[in-house]
């Protein structure tokens, strides 16, 4: 008696809550729907058969399993939802696409395969790292629908058709063009003429140029300037340029016991001798920057320019294999080929090249062999 009353109370409560006895539908091992009766699934199956292109569609739709259950009214599935569930869970049925080229139907294939092959064909002519836009020249149309798998073309057939189509590719090349900076010079009367000092190091400007190139199946057809914008303006270097010219008329060379003119004006001191445990091949005579440098003997100037670690350098050929070298000059006052006499001012003391402190590096060579200048200068 108690169980009967309990069962009756359950039925009453379900009725008032909107719940009723329905069927849970299991298809291909998955719960796909809840239906009021088995006829609902049969109607959905008939819709699938009408929708899907191909033979024996009805045979590939599996027989579902039903189990009674209680569910509220809103949980009951619509027929369209069951149709979608049947298609999604039937391996023999896929979404396909009919490929038409210029109005002519060429083939029908799995839509996923069709999309993949089209993307492969279009991207085949892209240039890595550049902005590309590829499209078919032919009029392409794809009509989708559901098909039996055995009615569709395979991937190779799709690729073969797409290989016959023409692909136009727009490529946008973006290049940064350097705009050289200039140099602004400012005269400075406190600096020796011929000397310079960078007081502001600028930077080159950048223009960004976009060029459009058109390719047909990977072959260049045309190119044009698409855009040019200024990324940054050039920033000029600012350089101080010395304008001070010393009065050299008051200087005259002193002559040594060997008959050579002493190569540097007054106020000098020896800062490094020949050899000095480091293979030094000359003598260093420290002096204030701008102090005149004299030709030690008459001869012909064979070099007057920047010369490796010597910086600004002069070499004079005195004949009979005898040459002298004057290194680290701040300014050169002679030219190649010029004949100079002993005591002529040929340069000014400086500290250019591999140099620490203002000084003259002086060398004497006999037949290409550098010798100690000290004895010739009365210094040893």
Of 249, 281, 254, nearest to 267 by C-alpha is 254
Query: pLDDT band at 1, cuts 50/70/90?
Result: very low
Domain assignment present for 347: yes
- What is the token pair recorded at 180? 């050289």
Q: Residue 194: what pLDDT? A: 64
Select from 214, 243, 272 the last residue of a domain: 243
Residue 189 binned pLDDT confidence (cut-offs 50, 70, 90): confident
Q: Which residues form the domain of 152?
A: 95-165
**Among candidate residues 121, 138, 165, the one where a domain is terminated:** 165
Residue 3 inside a domain? The answer is no
Mean per-residue pLDDT of the chain: 90
| Domain assignment of residue 4, yes or no | no
What is the domain-level CATH number for residue 372? 2.70.70.10
Contacts of 250 (CB under 8 A, 6+ apart): none
Residue 141 C-alpha from the chain's centroid: 39
pLDDT tens digits, one per residue of 83-132 = 999 999 999 999 999 999 999 999 999 999 999 999 999 999 999 999 99
CA distance 310 to 359: 11
For residue 7, pLDDT beyond 70: no
Radius of gyration over every alpha carbon of the chain, rounded to an integer in angstroms: 48
Specify the pLDDT at position 11. Answer: 45
Shared domain check, 217 and 231:
yes
Domain annotation covers residue 10 = no
Q: Which position has the higher pLDDT, 166 or 277?
A: 166
Calpha distance 195→186 (Å, rounded): 12
The 10 Å Cβ neighbour count of residue 58 is: 11
Residues 222 and 124 in one domain: no
- Whether residue 140 sits in one domain with residue 83: no
- 233 and 270, same domain (yes or no): no
Classify residue 238 as exposed, middle or buried by CB count within 10 Å of its CB (0-12, 13-18, 19+): middle
Average pLDDT over residues 144-165: 95
Task: State the average pLDDT over residues 284-306.
Answer: 95
262 shares its domain with 303? yes
List Cα–Cα distances, 332 to 267, 297, 327, in angstroms: 20, 17, 10
What's the rounded Cα separation, in Å, for the pair 90 and 234?
A: 67
In this structure, the answer to whether residues 277 and 347 fall within a common structural domain is yes
User: What's the pLDDT score for residue 9?
Assistant: 43
DSSP 39: H
Helices 111-123 and 155-162: crossing angle, nearest 10°? 40
Residue 193 pLDDT class (50, 70, 90 cuts): low
Mean per-residue pLDDT, 19-47: 93
Helix ranges (H only) for the chain are 2-17, 38-51, 57-60, 79-88, 111-123, 155-162
Please tell me the predicted confidence (pLDDT) of residue 34: 94
Q: Are residues 294 and 360 in the same domain?
A: yes
User: For tokens 């199946």, what's the residue?
Assistant: 217
Domain count within the chain: 4
Q: Are 84 and 100 contained in the same domain? A: no
**Each residue's pLDDT tens digit, 196-217:** 789 999 999 999 999 999 999 9
In a domain, 5, yes or no: no
CB atoms closer than 10 angstroms to residue 361: 24
Residues 322 and 295 in one domain: yes
The fraction of the chain above a pLDDT of 70, given in percent, is 93
Q: Which two tokens stand for residue 339?
A: 């004949």
Q: Say what angle helices 38-51 and 79-88 make with each other, to 10 degrees.
A: 60
Higher-confidence residue of 170 and 252: namely 170
Residue by residue, DSSP assigns 147-193 as EEGGGSB-HHHHHHHHTTS-EEEEEEEEEEEEE---EEEEEEEEEET
Residues 184 and 220 reside in one and the same domain: yes
Q: Which residue, among 168, 239, 226, 180, has the nearest Cα to 205 in the 3D structure?
A: 180
What number is the average pLDDT over the span 227-241?
95
CB 283 within 8 A of CB 377: yes
Residue 205 lies in a domain: yes
Q: Are residues 211 and 265 in the same domain?
A: no
**Distance of alpha carbon 231 from alpha carbon 327, whole angstroms:** 44
- Going by pLDDT thresholds of 50, 70 and 90, the confidence category of residue 249 is low
pLDDT at 190: 80
* Coil, strand or helix at 97: strand
Decide if pLDDT at 2 tops 60. Answer: no
């Amino acid at each position: 008696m108690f169980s009967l009353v309990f069962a009756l109370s359950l039925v009453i409560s379900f009725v008032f809550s909107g719940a009723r006895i329905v069927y849970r539908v299991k298809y291909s091992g998955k719960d796909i729907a809840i239906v009021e009766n088995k006829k609902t699934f049969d109607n959905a199956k008939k819709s699938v058969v009408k929708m899907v292109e191909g033979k024996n569609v009805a045979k590939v739709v599996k027989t579902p399993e039903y189990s009674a259950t209680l569910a509220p009214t809103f949980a009951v599935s619509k027929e369209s939802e069951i149709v979608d569930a049947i298609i999604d869970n039937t391996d023999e049925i896929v979404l396909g696409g009919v490929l038409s080229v210029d109005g002519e139907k060429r083939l029908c294939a799995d839509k996923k395969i069709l999309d993949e092959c089209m993307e492969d064909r279009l991207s085949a002519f892209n240039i890595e790292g550049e902005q590309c836009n590829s499209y078919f020249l032919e009029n392409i149309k794809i009509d989708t629908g559901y098909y039996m798998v055995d009615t569709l073309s395979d991937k190779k057939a799709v690729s073969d058709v797409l290989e016959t189509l023409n692909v136009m590719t727009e490529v946008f090349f973006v290049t940064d063009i350097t705009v050289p900076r200039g140099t602004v010079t400012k005269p400075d009367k406190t600096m020796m003429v011929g000397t310079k000092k960078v007081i502001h190091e600028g930077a080159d400007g950048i223009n960004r140029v976009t060029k459009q190139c058109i390719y047909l199946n990977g072959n260049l057809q045309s190119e044009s300037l698409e855009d040019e914008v200024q990324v940054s303006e050039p920033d000029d270097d600012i350089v101080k340029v010395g304008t001070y010219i010393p009065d050299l008329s008051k200087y005259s060379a002193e002559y040594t016991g060997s008959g050579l003119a002493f190569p540097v004006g007054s106020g000098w001191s020896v800062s490094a001798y020949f050899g000095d445990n480091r293979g030094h091949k000359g003598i260093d005579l420290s002096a204030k920057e701008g102090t005149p440098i004299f030709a030690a003997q008459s001869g012909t100037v064979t070099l007057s320019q920047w010369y490796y670690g010597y910086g600004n350098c002069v070499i004079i050929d005195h004949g009979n294999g005898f040459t002298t070298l004057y290194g680290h000059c701040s300014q050169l006052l002679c030219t190649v080929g010029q004949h100079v006499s002993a005591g002529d001012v040929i340069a000014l003391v400086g500290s250019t090249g591999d140099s620490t402190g203002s000084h003259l590096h002086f060398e004497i060579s006999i037949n290409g062999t550098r010798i100690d200048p000290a004895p010739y200068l009365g210094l040893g």
